[in-house]
């Protein structure tokens, strides 16, 4: 391991890092549940990064927290750092899943996905600033509040801002390995499969019903078989709905929503059409399928990866890459033709799970590599 000023600085900043992370995590910010809470979280980020010299633009939102775009420096845009401050955990989770440190790990809602990554970006930039190593080129940050729900209000803004930069660095988490970044992500489609049957009294005339739930059950088993047979695609039903609780009625309509991930463009095209052309499996049922591709496939930039690999070698590490099924805002920037590298954030396990954690011992090294990469761009 080299005797490096950036790493030395960050090793000395570990306590400050964890204190900032605690404050950030305790500002709960689910995607759409509570705009006031989310805006309080975004103001925390705005204050923190403004202290480094960033000038911010707030992009107002009605249904979620405001998005933040900030920049520092002048001239040619070097790198836009992208991260989301929303989490999947509802308000009040912090009481049952408090931020805590134990055995070299930090726990709490959003520590891994992905508040820890945003704090890494802050300390990478702080190290460059305090050590007099900040590049002269313009550096940007974009923090959105709706990534977990699909970035439907932010993706166009992210791509528009990213076009002003030569590179995009996505602070989503890596995996449970110090040396890994993400150079590939599956694309995503979301679908509603709606069964229209015939309503009837569930006691007196159930034999007269055409039960839409039976159709959904058959479709789910049919799609389960696709999961086994079609490689490079995952099919995950996520919501099922229908009927009115407390009534003696077989409903006319029921529906399930399905999240589908595609490894390649070819699979995306063929399987998308296959889903849209699903046929009913129950006599008397009309089947309606609605859906679209809402996240393109991400292919990470090789030149950016090679630069990061060279930085890792300076720290005695061998960089590795991985392709994952989960999407990020890097899918949008890569598909727009902007060189993108993803998974630069924290390491750990169990994202979107009460056991979510990050490895605190990895933080100085991952953050130092990020700072070195920013400096090199």
- 144: domain CATH number is 3.40.630.10
Q: Please report, rounded to a whole number, the percentage of residues in the chain having pLDDT higher than 70.
A: 99
213 and 349 part of one domain? no
172 and 25 part of one domain? yes
Split at pLDDT 50, 70, 90, the class of 2 is: low
97's CB contacts (< 8 A; 6+ apart) are 89, 107, 108, 109, 354
216 and 311 part of one domain? no
**Residue 151: its pLDDT value, please?**
96
Where would I find the H helices in 200-316?
Answer: 212-229, 265-276, 302-314
The pLDDT tens digits of the residues spanning 253-302 come to: 999 999 999 999 999 999 999 999 999 999 999 999 999 999 999 999 99
The pLDDT tens digits of the residues spanning 58-97 come to: 999 999 999 999 999 998 999 999 999 999 999 999 999 9
Last residue of a domain, one of 280, 295, 310: 295
Domain that holds residue 100: 5-185+297-376
Report how far residue 293's alpha carbon sits from residue 261's, in angstroms, rounded to the nearest whole number.
10
Last residue of a domain, one of 242, 271, 295: 295
152 and 74 part of one domain? yes
269 and 305 part of one domain? no
302 and 344 part of one domain? yes
Q: How many structural domains are present in the chain? A: 2
Q: Examine the pLDDT at 3 and tell me if it is beyond 70.
A: no
243 and 102 part of one domain? no
At 364, list the tokens. 């100085």
Report how far residue 253's alpha carbon sits from residue 192's, in angstroms, rounded to the nearest whole number.
12
Q: What pTM was estimated for this model as a whole?
A: 0.92
Last residue of a domain, one of 295, 323, 343: 295
111 and 14 part of one domain? yes
207 and 285 part of one domain? yes
């Amino acid at each position: 391991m080299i005797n490096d000023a950036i790493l030395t600085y960050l090793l000395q900043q570990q306590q400050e890092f964890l204190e900032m992370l605690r404050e950030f995590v305790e500002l709960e910010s689910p995607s759409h549940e509570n705009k006031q809470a989310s805006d309080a979280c975004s103001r925390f980020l705005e204050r923190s990064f403004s202290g480094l010299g960033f000038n911010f633009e707030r992009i107002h939102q009605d249904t979620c927290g405001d998005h933040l775009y900030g920049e520092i420096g002048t001239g040619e845009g070097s790198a836009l750092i992208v991260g989301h401050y929303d989490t999947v955990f509802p308000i009040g989770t912090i009481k049952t899943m408090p931020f805590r440190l134990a055995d070299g790990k930090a726990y709490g809602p959003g520590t891994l996905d992905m508040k820890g990554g945003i704090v890494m970006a802050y300390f990478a930039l702080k190290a460059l600033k305090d050590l007099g190593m900040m590049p002269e080129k313009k550096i940007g940050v974009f923090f959105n509040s709706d990534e977990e729900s699909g970035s439907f209000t932010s993706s166009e803004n992210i791509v528009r801002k990213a076009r002003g930069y030569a590179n995009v660095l996505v602070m989503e988490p890596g995996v449970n390995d110090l040396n890994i970044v993400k150079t590939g992500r599956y694309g995503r489609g979301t679908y509603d499969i709606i069964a229209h049957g015939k309503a009837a009294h569930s006691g007196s005339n159930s034999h007269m019903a055409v039960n839409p739930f039976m159709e959904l059950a058959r479709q789910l088993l049919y799609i389960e078989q696709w999961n086994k047979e079609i490689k490079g695609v995952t099919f995950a039903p996520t919501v099922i709905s229908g009927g009115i609780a407390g009534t003696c009625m077989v409903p006319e309509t029921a529906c399930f929503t399905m999240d589908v991930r595609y490894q390649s463009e070819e699979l995306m095209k063929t399987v998308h059409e296959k889903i849209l052309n699903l046929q009913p499996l129950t006599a008397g049922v009309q089947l309606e399928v609605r859906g679209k591709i809402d996240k393109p496939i991400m292919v990470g930039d090789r030149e950016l990866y090679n630069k990061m690999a060279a930085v890792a070698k300076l720290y005695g590490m061998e960089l590795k890459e991985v392709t994952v099924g989960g999407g990020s805002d890097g899918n949008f920037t890569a598909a727009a033709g902007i060189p993108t590298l993803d998974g630069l954030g924290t390491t750990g396990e169990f994202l979107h799970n009460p056991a979510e954690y990050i490895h605190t011992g990895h933080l100085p090294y991952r953050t130092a590599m990020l700072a070195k990469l920013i400096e090199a761009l």
